Amino acid sequence: MLGIILCGGQSSRMGSDKGLLKLEANTWAQTAIDKMADLDIPVKISVNNKQYPGYAAVFGETNLITDDTTLQLRGPLLGVLSCHLKYPSEDLFVLACDMPLMEQSLLNKLYIQYQDKTH
């Protein structure tokens, strides 16, 4: 399983990149990454091409997946499908970066349900 943090929005309503907003000491994206990492799964960040330089500077290039611009899609589905095309053999556990208050206990329960169904 691969954890995916969706950060690829246009931020038109928020006015700034949501994933790079801070909650206490961490960005929203880092908060989501930490929650997924607590599940002991690898984590990647889904971004659009415009965001790539800023996220690469913070998180490193190897941790990023950019939107596949050949797809005729927009929104979260573009990020999810782009990740699936890059890692077709992986099950994806997706979390949006703009949910920094997501309870770790809920993610744990979802992951346990996944493990029970696949093992």
In residues, how long is the chain?
A: 119
Q: Residue 13's pLDDT is what?
A: 64
Residues 52, 31: Cα–Cα separation, whole Å: 19
Total-model pTM: 0.91
Domain residue limits at 114: 2-118
Indicate the number of domains in the chain.
1
pLDDT tens over the chain, length 119 residues: 999 999 986 665 666 788 888 878 899 999 999 999 999 999 999 999 999 999 999 999 999 999 999 999 888 999 999 999 999 999 999 999 999 999 999 999 999 999 998 87
∠ Cα 36 18 24 (to 5°):
70
Query: What's the pLDDT score for residue 12?
Result: 57
Cβ atoms within 10 Å, residue 92: 14
CATH code of the domain covering residue 50: 3.90.550.10
- Give me the residues paired with residue 94 across strands: 4
Query: What's the pLDDT at 24?
Result: 84
